[in-house]
Amino acid sequence: CLVQRRWAANAVTMGSAGNMDSISIGGGWNSNLVCGNMSLNNTLENQLNGATSGFQTIMGSMISNATSAVASLPGLIIQRANPALYNLLTNGILQGRLDFDRSKGTCRAIADKMLDVAGGQMGWDKIAEGQAMSQAVKTGNTDAVSAVAQVEKQGGNDGITWVGGSKAGGSGQQPIKVVGDVTRAGYNLLNGRNAADTASISPSSCNNGMECSTWPSPQEATTFANRVLGEQQQRTCEGCTKTTSTAGVGLTPLIQESYDSKLKALQELISGNKSLTQENLSQASSSSLPVTRGVVEARRSEHDQDILAKRLASELALSDVLGKALLLQRTLFTGSKEPNIAANDVAQQAVSQQNNNLQQEIDNL
């Protein structure tokens, strides 16, 4: 009987959890147009000098003579003095250019294949490069070669356009915080504010709104989201740590914390150590399961007062945390509709994954 009563005291299995540490994944997979690091000058030099196969293989021992001739004569003089040698060099340069373009194309094909496999980090880099290219060619009469060269040189240092239209992830910019930034955007949109707003909402301005009543500021909503789901930070700049991840603790430890708080508040009300004011009753309640004066007075007359108080605290804790989890789910969904997030397929996939993780946590309860 005692075992049965102890089992019945909790509505759900609970337990505590320690703080989670961030884990940096090295330098990430640096896909910021790495093919742009290829050098045409070095390619041609190596082709003519025979360091790499191609023209040297075709022309054989004539390359060494061509190399010494190039060192002493300008192209025009070579053309006049030795037309055959000039044609030889021209063909060599063309062959080298073809090999360079082919190698660069192969490099890009490999990078695209890595993107299909790796997704995640490389997707952010590709978006940064695409937006940089859009900026490079947005003016009329753009030199195509210089535009591509500019993007290849800059890579992802300019970051991407993120929540509220600001840049993130690039050099000297804030990292892209998938969970935190989307939660903040959703919180603000649900409260009719600018997606990037960081200010708290006063009780009078909240007007009993569900979101702002649960979390008075976007920072508090973000803190809850990070505690449950963790965080994934992304950067696109050259030389940056690309991906930093922090694991979340899930919902179970939060239920334990809420249980301890609710049980203490209930015991103080039942014992009479605290008066039955609305404020004290609210501390023991959850948003969907209020504790009333009648509930407390009924517990005072029960023989199994302690067991019943624990059972009620367990129900209240479960209700409290589940309510917040469902609200967070709605917040993430709303945040994903922020224009800059909605237009970003990589961000949509990341948010969808976090929502699936949250749904799994809810289902596990």
| 166 compared with 136, residue with greater pLDDT | 166
Domain that holds residue 197: 1-29+175-365
149 and 225 share one domain? no
92 and 75 share one domain? yes
What string of DSSP letters covers 228-263?
HHEEEEE--STTS--EEEEE---SHHHHHHHHHHHH
Identity of the amino acid at 271: S
105 and 200 share one domain? no
pLDDT for the residue numbered 28: 42
Asked whether residue 162 is domain-assigned, the answer is no
186 and 148 share one domain? no
Contact 252, 10 (CB under 8 A): no
* Rounded Cα–Cα distance for residues 56 and 30 (Å): 33
Asked whether residue 161 is domain-assigned, the answer is no
260 and 292 share one domain? yes
Write the CB contacts of 156 (distance below 8 Å, at least 6 apart in sequence).
Answer: 32, 124, 125, 128, 129, 132, 169, 170, 236, 237, 238
Identity of the amino acid at 292: T
361 and 214 share one domain? yes
In terms of Cβ atoms closer than 10 Å to its own Cβ (0-12, 13-18, 19+), residue 181 is buried
Asked whether residue 130 is domain-assigned, the answer is yes
Asked whether residue 66 is domain-assigned, the answer is yes
Q: How confident is the model at residue 259 (pLDDT cuts 50, 70, 90)?
A: very high
Task: Compute the chain's Rg from CA coordinates.
Answer: 32
| 165 compared with 156, residue with greater pLDDT | 165
* Rounded Cα–Cα distance for residues 91 and 109 (Å): 27
Question: Structurally, how many domains does the chain consist of?
Answer: 2
Kindly state the percentage of the chain with pLDDT values over 90.
40
Q: Is the pLDDT of residue 326 over 60?
A: yes
50 and 186 share one domain? no
Q: How confident is the model at residue 305 (pLDDT cuts 50, 70, 90)?
A: confident
Angle, CA 295 vertex, CA 292 and CA 298 arms, to 5°: 150
Q: What is the pTM of this model?
A: 0.73
Q: What is the pLDDT of residues 19-41, one digit of tens each?
A: 555 454 444 444 444 455 545 56
In terms of Cβ atoms closer than 10 Å to its own Cβ (0-12, 13-18, 19+), residue 69 is middle
Mind spelling out the 3-state secondary structure of 168-209? ECCCCCCCEEHHHHHHHHHHHHHCCCCCCCCCCCCHHHHCCC
